[in-house]
Chain A
Amino acid sequence: MTALLLALTQIVVVGLPAALLLDRDDSPSRARLLGEAFLLGSGIVWLVLFTLSGLGLGWSRLSVTVALLVVAISLWIPARKVVREAGPPEARATWIDLGTLIVLGAHAFVAAEKPVRHGDFWAIWGLKARVFFEHGSIDWAFLLGPFNWYQHSDYPLLLPFNYLLVALHEGGWSDRWMGPVTTLYAVALALIVRDLFARELPRHVAALATLGVAAVGASPWIGLADAPMVAYGTAGLLLMRRRVTPLSAILLGLAACSKNEGLLLIAVVVLVLVLVGRVREVVSLWPAVALSVPWLALRAWHRLEGDLLPSAFDLDRVGPILRGIAQEPPARPLLWVGLAAALVLLVGSLRRERFVLLTCLFQGLAYVAVYLISPHDVSWHIVYSWPRLLEHVTVPLVFATLLIAGSTATTGK
Chain B
Amino acid sequence: MHSKPLLARVVFAAVLLGALDPRPLLRIRSEPPADLLPEYVRFLAEVKARSAPGQSIAVAAPARSWSRGYSSIYYRASYILAGRRVIPLIDRDDSFHFERLGEVELVAVWGMGGPRGRYALLWSGHHGALYRRLP
Question: Could you list which residues of chain A lie within 8 angstroms of chain B, going by C-beta atoms?
Answer: 103, 106-107, 110-111, 113-119, 121-123, 126-127, 130-131, 133-135, 145, 147, 149-151, 173, 205, 208-209, 211-213, 215-216, 218, 220, 222, 331-339, 341-342, 345-346, 349, 398, 401-402, 404-410, 412
Contact = CB atoms under 8 A, between A and B. Distances in A.
A117 B31 contact: yes
A173 B82 contact: yes
Given A122-B34, A222-B28, A212 B19 contact: yes
B75 A123 contact: yes
B76 A122 contact: yes
A394 B126 CA distance: 45
Nearest to B78: A127
A121 B28 CA distance: 14
Contact of A119 (B24, B72, B92): B72
Given A118-B34, A215-B20, A334-B17, A110 B83 contact: no
B21 interface: yes
B34 A332 contact: no
Given A110-B28, A405-B9, A406-B8, A150 B18 contact: no
Interface in B1-45: 2, 4-5, 7-25, 27-29, 31-34
Given A145-B85, A345-B11, A409-B12, 5 more contacts: A149-B92, A220-B24, A220-B27, A338-B17, A341-B11
Contacts of A208: 12, 16
Interface string B51-69: 0010000000000000000
A331 B8 contact: no
B61 to A, nearest CB: 15
A150 B87 CA distance: 14
B71 A150 contact: yes
A100 B15 CA distance: 15
Contact of B4 (A205, A402, A412): A412
Contacts of A119: 34, 72, 75
Contact residues of A: prevailing secondary structure: helix
A103 B78 contact: no
23 contacts: A103-B20, A115-B34, A126-B79, A127-B79, A131-B83, A135-B83, A147-B74, A149-B92, A151-B75, A211-B20, A216-B19, A220-B24, A331-B21, A334-B18, A334-B21, A335-B18, A341-B10, A398-B15, A401-B15, A402-B16, A405-B12, A408-B4, A408-B7
A402 B18 CA distance: 12
Given A127-B78, A218-B25, A405-B8, A341 B14 contact: yes
A122 B10 CA distance: 43
Range of interface residues on B (Cβ < 8 Å)? 35 or more
A406 B13 CA distance: 9
A205 B12 CA distance: 10
A147 B75 CA distance: 10
Given A110-B25, A118-B34, A405-B9, A337 B20 contact: no
Nearest to B75: A123
Contact of A334 (B14, B27, B31, B53): B14
A215 B18 CA distance: 10
B87 A110 contact: no
A302 to B, nearest CB: 18
A252 to B, nearest CB: 24
Contacts of A122: 34, 75-76, 79
B29 to A, nearest CB: 6
Contacts of B10: 341, 345
A117 B12 contact: no
Nearest to B13: A338
Contacts of A173: 82
- Most A Cβ at <10 Å: residue of B11, B18, B20, B76: B11
Nearest to B12: A405
A320 B61 CA distance: 36
A345 B13 CA distance: 14
B88 interface: yes
